Every structure is written in structure tokens, then in C-alpha cells.
């Protein structure tokens, strides 16, 4: 029997502060206007993306191509609403863009595109690409003697892809301690539980054995995320993997740990009412 991590239990029970609720309102507002969106995947990411953009990344929204900026890649591109709301909130583009999500003339597609969205470092959506690109960015930083760091956000289902583990070996080979893999371990993928689709445990051991310094935490705990993300590399000379125990759909009781909320089309009136109860009027 696999022990349930205390971080996973904490992720299920912890409450969300006002900023986390506000960001969820923005995500759900976009879904409401677009009539579609990957709800569960975005809600499980919010705190990780929030702490990165609020507290960790050295970035300047007025100079999004600054060569010394930290790089962040959302490898699980379908979770892009979490990224879009943070980028908009931080001023990379106007908040009003969020209403156009997936529209014919919007910069904001159902997966993030480099060159279209200020602040997006790589076009993702095909799973399993981001960590390799991150290895390239991190290696380039070393070659060019730049101090930026590279953060890559991955889904737990995404790491079914063999390319992720190729990249992990490459990162360890080069001792890329300027590279951080953040895993959104929400235990669900598209069809259902990761345990059913393709079991990942022992997950921390896997990353450790691939040469990463591993941290585990409740991925909805803003304080814990700040502490861990501000202390990278966890071990000098090694890439860092941060396993964030999360809840897919966190903050919306109907959506929590519910594979039916992986992607949603139109939200019904009763769903909208339930959302208002959960996160406030929007």
C-alpha cells in the first residue's frame, strides 16, 4: 500500500486566501466568456504560478525580453489560464484580454503561444516538451554566463512522456542547478487517476534517482511554496524537482478531483451559482 503523503492531505483540506480566490475568479470569468477551458488543470496550478510570478521570478513586465530575466515555461500548456491571469495581473498585457480567451482575434489561445502572448517563453500544448527546452535554456545560461534561472511546470500525467525522462537525465548530466522542475501532482490526468492510467509512485524516488534534488510540499500552500521556491537550487550542482501535491480543480467543490472538469464547455447556470458560492461573485 502506498502511503498517502501528508502534503496530499493538506492540499485537500487547506483553505485559500483572498488573492487565490481572486485569481480563480479571473480564470472562471475567462471560461465563462469563452464558453470553454481547461478548468481543473488551471485551478490546480494557481498557487504555484502565483508564487512564481508574485515572489520568485526576476522579471519586468515592461521589459519582457530582458536577457537576464528568469525563464518560466508552462510545459502543461493546457493549464494556460492560470498563467494568463498571472501575466495579466502582473501587467504583461491588459486584464481585458482575458475576456477574449480562445476568440478568433485573441492573443490568448487554448494553449500558450510564444510571440503571441507577452511573457510566454515557449509555445506548449503538446505535452512532454518543456523540460527539454528548459535544459537548453539553462545550459545556454551557463554557456553565456548569465545568472537567470529556468523554471518548468509539468503535469503529473505529462511525465508519462519518455522525453521528460530523457530531459531529466540530460539536466543531471550537466548538473544544471539553475533549472527547476515543478510538478503539479494532482493525481489526475485526462481519463482518470494517474494510478490507473500509468502509476508514477514512488515519484520522489524517481526524480531523486534521475539526479535531482527533490522537495515535496502542499502545492496550494503559498507560504511553503515561497520558502521552497526561494531556496533553489535545493542542492548546489543538481537540478531541483519540486513535487507539489495539489488537487485538480482546487477551490471549486464540484470540480475538485473530478476528471469531468478536466475540460469544460459552457458552464450551466447552476454551475455558475456554485462557482459564486465557492470563490465569490465574478
Partner 1 sequence: MRNTAMNMVHKLAARDERVLYIGSDPGAGTLRAMSKEFPKRHLIEGISEAHIIGMSAGLAMEGLLPYVNTIATFLTRRCYEQVAVDLCLHNLPVRLIANGGGLVYAPLGPTHQAIEDIAIMRALPNMTVICPCDADEAARMMEQTLDWKGPIYIRLGKGGDAIVSKAEHGFEIGKAILMRPQGDVLMVTTGIMLQRAFAAADLLAAQGVRAGILHMHTVKPLDTAALLHAIRGVKLVATLEEHVPSGGLGSAIAEALIDKLGAGLPAMLRLSLPDRFMHNYGSQDSLLKKHGLSADAIATSIEHALAASRTSAPQLHPT
Ligand X SMILES: Cc1ncc(C[n+]2csc(CCOP(=O)(O)OP(=O)(O)O)c2C)c(N)n1
Question: Would you tell me which residues interact with ligand X (CB under 6 A)?
Answer: 41, 44, 76, 78-79, 125-128, 155-158, 184, 186, 188-190, 248, 262
Nearer to partner 1, 163 or 257 (CB): 163
DSSP state string for 27-50 = HHHHHHHHT-B-HHHHHHHHHHHH
Comparison of 148 and 261: residue with beta carbon closer to partner 1: 148
Rounded CA-CA distance 29/121 in Å is 24
- Torsion angles phi and psi, residue 179, rounded to 5: -120, 130
**Sign of the CA dihedral running 255, 260, 261, 267:** negative
Nearer to ligand X, 46 or 267 (CB): 46
Binding-residue pattern over the window 171 to 210 for partner 1, x denoting contact by CB under 8 A = --x-------------------------------------
- Do 47 and 7 touch, CB atoms closer than 8 A? no
Closest distance to partner 1 from the beta carbon of 133 (Å): 4
- Residue 156's binding partner, choosing from ligand X, partner 1, none, with beta-carbon cut-off 5 to 8 A by kind? ligand X
Residue 123 engages partner 1 in binding (rule: CB under 8 A): yes
Which of 27, 48, 167, 203 touches partner 1 (CB under 8 A)? 167
State the number of CA atoms in the 13 A half-sphere of 116 facing the CB: 16
Closer to ligand X by CB, 64 or 160: give it.
Answer: 160
- Cβ contact 106:97 at 8 Å: yes
Task: Give min distance, CB of 50 to partner 1, in A.
Answer: 25
Choose, by CB under 8 A, the member of 112, 155, 157, 170 that binds partner 1.
170
Task: Judge whether 180 and 240 are in contact, CB under 8 Å.
Answer: yes
For the CA atoms of the chain, what is the radius of gyration? 18
The strand pair at 179-185 and 150-155 is best described as parallel
How far apart are CB 113 and ligand X at their closest, in Å? 14
What is the per-residue binding string for partner 1 in 89-118, x denoting contact by CB under 8 A?
-------------------------xx---
Q: Is 265 exposed, middle or buried (0-12, 13-18, 19+ CB in 10 A)?
A: exposed
- Helix, strand or coil, per DSSP, at residue 80: helix
Which residue in 169, 198, 235, 277 binds partner 1 (CB under 8 A)? 169
Among 4, 126, 272, 277, binds partner 1 (CB under 8 A): 126
Q: Which option in ligand X, partner 1, none does residue 29 bind, with CB closer than 5 to 8 A by kind?
A: none
Go through 130-156 and write b for each residue having 16 or more CB atoms within 10 A of its CB, e for each that does not: bbbbbbebbbebeeeeeebbbbbbbbb
Q: How far is the CB of 148 from ligand X (least distance, A)?
A: 26
Distance CA 50, CA 195 (A): 28
Of 245 and 262, nearer to ligand X (C-beta) is: 262
Q: If binding is defined by CB under 8 A, does position 145 make contact with partner 1?
A: no
For 261, list phi and psi in degrees, rounded to 5. -95, 15
Binding site for partner 1 (CB under 8 A): 114-115, 121-123, 125-126, 128-141, 143-144, 146, 162-163, 166-167, 169-170, 173
Amino acid at each position: 500500500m502506498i502511503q498517502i503523503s501528508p502534503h496530499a492531505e493538506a492540499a485537500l483540506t487547506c483553505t485559500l486566501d483572498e488573492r487565490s480566490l481572486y485569481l480563480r475568479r479571473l480564470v472562471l470569468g475567462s471560461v465563462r466568456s469563452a464558453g470553454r477551458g481547461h478548468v481543473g488543470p488551471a485551478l490546480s496550478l494557481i498557487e504555484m504560478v502565483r508564487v512564481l510570478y508574485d515572489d520568485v521570478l526576476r522579471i519586468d513586465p515592461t521589459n519582457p525580453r530582458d536577457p537576464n530575466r528568469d525563464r518560466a515555461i508552462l510545459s502543461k500548456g493546457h493549464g494556460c489560464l492560470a498563467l494568463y491571469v498571472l501575466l495579466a495581473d502582473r501587467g504583461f498585457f491588459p486584464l481585458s484580454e482575458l475576456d477574449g480567451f480562445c476568440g478568433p482575434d485573441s492573443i490568448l489561445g487554448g494553449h500558450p503561444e510564444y510571440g503571441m502572448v507577452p511573457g510566454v517563453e515557449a509555445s506548449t500544448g503538446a505535452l512532454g516538451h518543456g523540460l527539454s527546452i528548459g535544459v537548453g535554456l539553462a545550459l545556454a545560461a551557463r554557456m553565456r554566463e548569465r545568472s537567470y534561472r529556468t523554471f518548468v511546470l509539468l503535469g503529473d500525467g505529462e511525465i508519462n512522456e519518455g522525453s521528460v525522462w530523457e530531459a531529466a537525465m540530460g539536466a543531471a548530466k550537466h548538473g544544471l542547478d539553475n533549472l527547476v522542475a515543478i510538478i503539479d501532482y494532482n493525481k489526475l490526468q485526462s481519463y482518470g487517476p494517474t494510478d490507473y492510467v500509468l502509476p508514477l509512485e514512488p515519484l520522489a524516488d524517481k526524480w531523486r534517482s534521475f539526479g535531482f534534488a527533490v522537495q515535496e510540499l502542499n502545492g496550494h500552500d503559498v507560504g511553503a511554496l515561497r520558502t521552497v521556491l526561494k531556496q533553489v537550487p535545493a542542492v548546489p550542482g543538481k537540478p531541483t524537482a519540486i513535487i507539489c501535491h495539489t488537487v485538480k480543480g482546487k477551490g471549486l467543490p464540484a470540480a475538485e478531483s473530478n476528471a469531468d472538469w478536466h475540460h469544460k464547455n459552457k458552464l450551466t447556470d447552476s454551475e455558475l451559482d456554485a462557482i459564486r458560492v465557492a470563490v465569490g461573485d465574478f
